[in-house]
Structure 1
Amino acid sequence: MLTSILIALAGGAAVGMSRSINGRLTMDRGAFRASFWNHFIGFALLTVFVVLFERQGLALLGQVPGWAFTGGVIGAVFVAISSYVFPRIGAARSALLIIGGQMIAGLAIDYLRGTAQFSIGQPAGVALILFGIYLTRFSK
C-alpha cells in the first residue's frame, strides 16, 4: 500500500513538473504546439516501450471498444488547457483548480456509475475544495 501511495505522489509531482515545463513551452510556441510536442514525444517513448516490452498488448487492441479511446482526446484537451493556464495563473493555482476539478468529476462519476456510497463527508469535502478554489482565486 505504501509503495502505491509513493508512486501516486511521484506521479502527481511528474504531472506538476510536466505542466510547468509545457507552460514554458506554451509561452514560446503556443498551447496547441506545446500540447502537440508533449503528446508526440510521449507517443514516441511509449511506442518504444510497447514494442520492447508489451507486444502481446497490440494483439488485444482490436478487443477494446471504440469509446475507450476517447480518453486520449480528453487527455490531449487537458494538456492543451493546462499548458495555456499554467503560465497565466501560476503552478499552485493551476494545480489546485485541476485537482479540484478532478476530485469533483471523480465523485460525480462514482455516483453516476453507482460505485460510491453516500456519506456526509463527501459533499463536505467538495465544499472544502470549492472554498479552497475560492481562496486561491481571491487571495493576494
Structure 2
Amino acid sequence: MLGAVLIALAGGAAVGMSRSINGRLTMDRGAFTASAWNHWIGFLLLTVYVLLFHRVGMPMIADVPVFYLTGGVIGACFVVISSYVFPRIGAARSGLLIIGGQMITGLIIDLARGTAEFHIGQPVGVALILLGIYLTRYTR
C-alpha cells in the first residue's frame, strides 16, 4: 500500500512538473503546439518502451472498442487546457483546480456507476474542495 501511495505522489509531482514545462512552451509556441510536442515525445518514448519490454505486438486498432479511444482525446484536451492555464493563473491555483475537477468528476463517476456508496463525507469533501478553490482565487 505504501508503495502505491508513493508512486501516486510521484505521479502527481510529474504532472506538476510537466504542466509547468508545457506552460513555458505554451508561452513561446502556443497551447496546441505544446500539446502536440508533449504527445509526440510521449508517443516515441512509449513506443520504444513497448518495443523493448513487451514481446507481443501492438493490438490492432480494430480490436479496440471506439469508446476506449476517447481517453486519448480527453488526455490531449487536458494537456492543451492545462498548458494554457498554468502560465496564466500559476501552478498552485491550476493544480488545485485540476485536482478539484478530478475529485469531483471521480466522485460523480463512482456514484453513477454504483462503485461507491454515498456517505456524508463525500459532499463535505466536495464543499472543502470548492472552498479551497474560492480561497485561492479570491483571497490574497
TM-score interval, smaller chain: over 0.9
Counterpart in 1 of 2:22? 22
Distance, in Å, in 2 between the alignment partners of 1:78 and 1:107 is 19
- Paired residue for 1:11? 11
Amino acid at match of 1:128: L
| Offset of residue 55 of structure 1 | 3.6
- Separation (CA, whole Å) in 2 of partners of 1:25 and 1:82: 12
TM norm structure 1:
0.96
> 2:101 maps to what in 1?
101
The 5 Å alignment of 1:76-115 reads 76-115=76-115
What letter corresponds to residue 127 of structure 2 in structure 1? Answer: A
What is the aligned partner in structure 1 of residue 44 from structure 2?
44
**Cα distance in 1 for residues equivalent to 2:102 and 2:81:** 14
Tell me what 1:118 maps to: 118
Q: Alpha carbon RMSD of aligned pairs, Å? A: 1.2
Amino acid at match of 1:95: G
Tell me how far 1:60 sits from its aligned partner.
6.8
**What's the offset of the Cα at 1:54?**
2.1
Could you tell me the TM-score, scaled by structure 2's length? 0.96
State the distance in 2 between where 1:59 and 1:34 align: 28
TM-superposition CA deviations, 1:55-87 (whole Å, max 9, x none): 426247554312101100000000000000000
2-side partners of 1:59 and 1:27: how far apart?
37
Per-residue deviation, 1:115? 0.5
**How many residues matched?**
140
Unmatched 5+ stretches in structure 1: none
Q: Which runs of 5+ in 2 are unaligned?
A: none
**SS in structure 1 at match of 2:118:** coil
Letter in 2 for 1:17: M
Q: Secondary structure at the match of 1:115?
A: coil
Match of 2:134 in 1: 134
In structure 2, what is the equivalent of residue 65 of structure 1?
65
Query: Between the two proteins, what is the percent identity of the paired residues?
Result: 75
| Paired AA for residue 92 in structure 1 | A
1:21 deviates by 0.3
